Amino acid sequence: MKIHEYQAKEILDKGGIPVPKGVVATTSEEAAAAGSELGCSVVVKAQVHAGGRGKAGGIKLVASPEEAGAAASELIGSNLVTHQTGPEGVPIRSVLVEEALEVDRELYVGMVIDGSAGGVVVMASEAGGMDIEEVAEETPEKIVRIAIDPVLGLLPYQARKIAYSLNVATDQVRPVAAMMSKLYDLFLSHDCSLIEINPLVATKDGRLLAADAKLNFDDDAMFRHRDLAQLYDPEQEDPLEAEAGKFGVSYVRLDGDVGCMVNGAGLAMATMDVTFAAGTAPANFLDVGGGADDEKIAQALKIILSDGNVAKILINIFGGILRCDVVARGALIAAERAENGMPPMVVRMLGTNADEGRKLLEESSLNVTLVDDLNQAALAIKALG
Ligand code: GDP
Ligand code: MN
């Protein structure tokens, strides 16, 4: 789950990590008032769940409260398109009005769960700022990576190593090392999947502040963070992904034309591979989960069909707790409700009540190709063109 920059900064502030003074505003009047309250040059920052705002015109440095108001009225209500959003962008509903910093250096600090390292990896670079992606691509040696042992935690020498790698002034080594420990504690206590401070600004007057902050949380841990769960902002998400979330269906929109409905995340990924093997591409990842009923199947198919790119459907079900006849009934309900009809379907069903499920589909008026294995599924998808 993602949150806004201003929310991430509140969390950092509580965790003892210095952030610039700032005020959130949802109107240009509020932004102007925030500007006068801060009483200095300010930056007006579009609050969206996407990075790359600076390059997309979402960050404006202004000299007066009037200019802050004007910048806010330009941003609020518009959509920001960055390299991390789709072409339609994401809506700006608020801005963060923040004291402008006199930047001496822009550093990068990040922490992420790394599956291959089996824990949190801390990343740091002297070359922070808006071009960090290029740095990672072209001069990866400029990014220091340290894997943290989950049992030992971030050790003091590792925190110091990060501080040295950032080449901070001698008197900043201790504060930076302390900041890294606090960040790591925060990462664990909030069940983060990612923390990114880019830039961590070293100011001309010798301060170090998190000028930008990104915090992502592990969705599966949200049940134990009621306060954080409230920060969920569905407007910033893909509307279909948000809809799927309401039904407890894992759905990720992709750009192919084969709508995939599968139970189990691993099988869902294998099914996407099958569509590629057929020379086509998946329109989505979808794991309908274990205990689905026919209504949930129908809702999952509705979400798949809401994507205008979908021209055919591949259903791949290994019936266990989820019975194949329930899936077939769900598909029939979805077909009845589908305004533009149901596109041709390739269906592989195995396991509990597979015969009954197949029979229901066979006897329906739907355009269904029943297959027994994934090879046949690929061929059948290919045959649909
Ligand atoms: P992002 O592009 O979405 O990552 O947004 P950031 O919050 O990182 O802002 C982009 C860039 O704006 C930063 O890398 C800085 O160069 C610049 N910036 C942000 N805040 C300030 C500030 O207070 N003062 C100055 N001079 N530049 C800033
Ligand atoms: Mn940034």
Q: What is the pLDDT of residue 121?
A: 98
How far is residue 100's CA from residue 40's CA, in Å, rounded to a whole number?
Answer: 7
Mutational pocket test of ligand 1: of 132, 212, 214, 215, the residue with most ligand atoms within 8 Å of the beta carbon: 212
pTM of structure: 0.83
Token match 């949802």: residue?
26
* For residues 285-310, average pLDDT: 93
Q: Is 108 a catalytic residue?
A: yes
- Residue 150 pLDDT more than 80? yes
Any idea which ligand is nearest the CA of 50?
A: 1
pLDDT of 291 > 90? The answer is no
For ligand 1, whether the C-beta of 103 sits within 6 Å is yes
Residue 259: the pLDDT is: 97
Instruction: Tell me what pLDDT residue 86 has.
Output: 81
Q: Check pLDDT > 80 for residue 290.
A: no
Catalytic choice (108, 133, 138, 295): 108
Side chain identity at residue 287, one-letter code? D
pLDDT at 239: 86
**Rounded average pLDDT over 7-18:** 98
- Contact 128 CB / ligand 1 (< 6 Å): no
B/e letters for 172-207, b = 16+ CB within 10 Å, e = fewer, are: bbeebbebbbbbbebbeebbbbbbbbbbbbbeeeee
Q: Is the pLDDT of residue 203 over 80?
A: yes
What span, in angstroms and rounded, lies between the C-alpha atoms of 308 and 297? 19
Residue 267: is its pLDDT beyond 90? yes
Confidence of residue 344 (pLDDT cuts 50, 70, 90): very high
Tell me if 199 CB under 6 Å of ligand 1: yes
What does the pLDDT read at residue 54? Answer: 96
At 35-86, the pLDDT tens digits run: 999 999 999 999 999 999 999 999 999 999 999 999 999 999 999 999 998 8
Q: What is the mean pLDDT of residues 26-33?
A: 98
Which residue has the CA at smallest separation from atom 11 of ligand 1?
A: 54
Average pLDDT over the chain, rounded to an integer = 95
Top pLDDT among 255 and 42 is at 42
Q: Is the CB of 53 under 6 A from ligand 1?
A: yes
